[in-house]
Amino acid sequence: MVDLFGTPEKDARTEPPRPLADRLRPAQLGEVVGQEHLTAEDGALTRMIRSGSLGSMIFWGPPGTGKTTVARLLAGETGLAFEQISAIFSGVADLKKVFDAARLRRSNGRATLLFVDEIHRFNRAQQDSFLPVMEDGTITLVGATTENPSFELNAALLSRARVLTFKSHTPDSLARLLARAEEAEERQLPLDEEARDLLIRMSDGDGRAVLTLAEEVWRAAATDEVFDAKTLQEIVQRRAPIYDKGQDGHYNLISALHKSVRGSDPDAALYYLCRMFDAGEDPLYLGRRLVRMAVEDIGLADPQALLVCNAAKDAYDYLGSPEGELALAEACVYLATAPKSNGVYTAFKAAMRAAKEQGSLLPPKHILNAPTKLMKEEEYGRGYLYDHDQPDAFSGQNYFPEAMGRRKFYDPPERGFERDIRKRLDYWARLREERGE
């Protein structure tokens, strides 16, 4: 059939099939895969449903872990009307319409579960608009976010909602999703064992992604064709890692890199460094972070660490990618295998705290210069001992303000080069004691 303009009319019988991931959406909470800590018999959500009371919630977790599906199932199992909006496409006017509809529905005896996808995209004022309708029971809010709620959501909103964490899929849960897809399609994926494992790794913990990739494989395979790992990569290409350089993915990986270096694990440190290279992180940012690790976690236990890191940063600046990345990897391994000390870092923080607390105390007069007659009359510089003229080139005089007294900030550990520094400090302390300073 055609319309008046000669355009074929839409025939419901010719509509393309829904995507596999949509067709395999669970019909009840117990069918959700990978979030058993929430949906199992003793899971948090199951307990809420049994109690008959469903409070507002924030679902926090990576993409493809079932946040939307679970929200829809919760509405179904508690008899709530389900409304869904996305913070990306909605504004204040859209929220007002949803709230008005929920109020009308409530006046007719039915409550509303409002699912807000990407809720962190709403600004602070928009987030505040949820508070009155949450408090008076007009809506039960379920917000979904991939970002840390502590950073992205208002404290007032968080105080009225329970945060539930959704976990990335494990290889086992992704394998179960593939098995469910094969059962539904009544055919096996045309992949050998190695290719099947690779497809799971490509999915990066995302359940929607693994089903989408599986659908691409079925679409590409000829009759009786079985793909190996190399062919699979050529067909579906490589799915980019989940990594937002300004958000949690960035901070989680740089934290893991720093702690692996501090923990003297060069293999883990290299792994996280390469994860960040692979995700497109700026190598010069990583170079700067390595310099920070050199001064914070290695310090004077190995004074060469700072030189190595600066040299690696300069080498990358000179060579660029990918050759320069090897210099950063070399610095990373050097740091991880170097003796560790935060002695200077700790001393710096303690000295900075003392500087702020003690105010503008005048240094002792004997170490002040006296360029004027008045200053000489005030005894500036009187009694100063020039260390190079003293036995062992050490006078042992006090250099702290008299009102403050001597303080000890730097306490080097018995590791690396600082072992030698400690010997010197102990030696000078003995001389100071012997000379009564």
Q: Which residue has the higher pLDDT, 344 or 244?
A: 344
2 has pLDDT over 80 = no
Over residues 48-59, the mean pLDDT reads: 88
Helix spans in 147-282 (H): 149-152, 155-159, 171-185, 193-202, 207-220, 229-236, 248-262, 266-278
What secondary structure letter does DSSP report for 221? P
Of 349, 366, 351, 368, the residue nearest 404 (C-alpha): 351
19 has pLDDT over 90 = no
The percent of residues above 70 in pLDDT, for the chain, comes to 94
Say if residue 68 is exposed, middle or buried (CB neighbours under 10 Å; 0-12, 13-18, 19+).
middle
Worst-scoring range by mean pLDDT, 139-148, 153-162, 376-385? 376-385
Q: Place 150 in a pLDDT band, splitting at 50, 70 and 90.
A: confident
Q: Place 331 in a pLDDT band, splitting at 50, 70 and 90.
A: very high
Please give the single-letter amino acid code of residue 408. K
Over residues 224-234, the mean pLDDT reads: 89
Please tell me the distance from the alpha carbon of residue 232 to that of residue 221, in angstroms, as a whole number: 10
3 has pLDDT over 60 = no
Over residues 415-420, the mean pLDDT reads: 90
12 has pLDDT over 70 = no
Worst-scoring range by mean pLDDT, 32-46, 111-125, 359-373? 359-373
Please tell me the distance from the alpha carbon of residue 93 to that of residue 17, in angstroms, as a whole number: 34
Average pLDDT, the chain: 88
Give me the residues paired with residue 165 across strands: 60
Q: What is the structure's pLDDT at 133? A: 92
Residue pair 262/345 in contact (Cβ under 8 Å)? The answer is no
Q: Place 218 in a pLDDT band, splitting at 50, 70 and 90.
A: very high
- CA 209, chain centre distance (Å): 21
398 has pLDDT over 80 = yes
Q: What is the structure's pLDDT at 399? A: 84
Phi, psi at 113, each rounded to 5°: -100, 115
Which structural domains are found in the chain, ordered by start?
35-165 (3.40.50.300), 248-337 (1.20.272.10), 363-434 (no CATH)
Q: What is the structure's pLDDT at 378? A: 81
Place of tokens 């890199």: 257
Winning range, highest mean pLDDT, from 23-27, 70-74, 320-324: 70-74
118 has pLDDT over 80 = yes
Of 144, 182, 178, 146, the residue nearest 161 (C-alpha): 144
Give me the residues paired with residue 81 across strands: 112
Over residues 180-186, the mean pLDDT reads: 92
11 has pLDDT over 70 = no
115 has pLDDT over 60 = yes
Q: Specify the pairing of strand 112-117 against strand 162-165.
A: unpaired
Residue pair 204/242 in contact (Cβ under 8 Å)? The answer is yes
Q: Place 7 in a pLDDT band, splitting at 50, 70 and 90.
A: low
Q: Place 242 in a pLDDT band, splitting at 50, 70 and 90.
A: low
201 has pLDDT over 60 = yes
Helix spans in 221-363 (H): 229-236, 248-262, 266-278, 283-293, 304-319, 323-337, 343-358
326 has pLDDT over 70 = yes
Dihedral sign of CA atoms 310, 314, 317, 321 in order: negative
Over residues 81-95, the mean pLDDT reads: 90
Q: What is the structure's pLDDT at 390? A: 87
Q: What is the pLDDT of residues 259-310, one digit of tens each?
A: 999 999 999 999 999 999 888 788 999 999 999 999 999 999 999 999 999 9
Please tell me the distance from the alpha carbon of residue 102 to that of residue 114, in angstroms, as a whole number: 9
Of 260, 248, 274, 406, the residue nearest 329 (C-alpha): 274
Give me the residues paired with residue 59 across strands: 144, 164
Which three-class secondary structure state does DSSP give residue 339? Answer: coil
Helices 323-337 and 248-262: crossing angle in degrees, nearest 10, is: 50
Q: What is the structure's pLDDT at 5? A: 52
Q: What is the structure's pLDDT at 203? A: 87
CA distances for 41 relative to 6, 30, 59, 369, angstroms: 57, 8, 19, 78
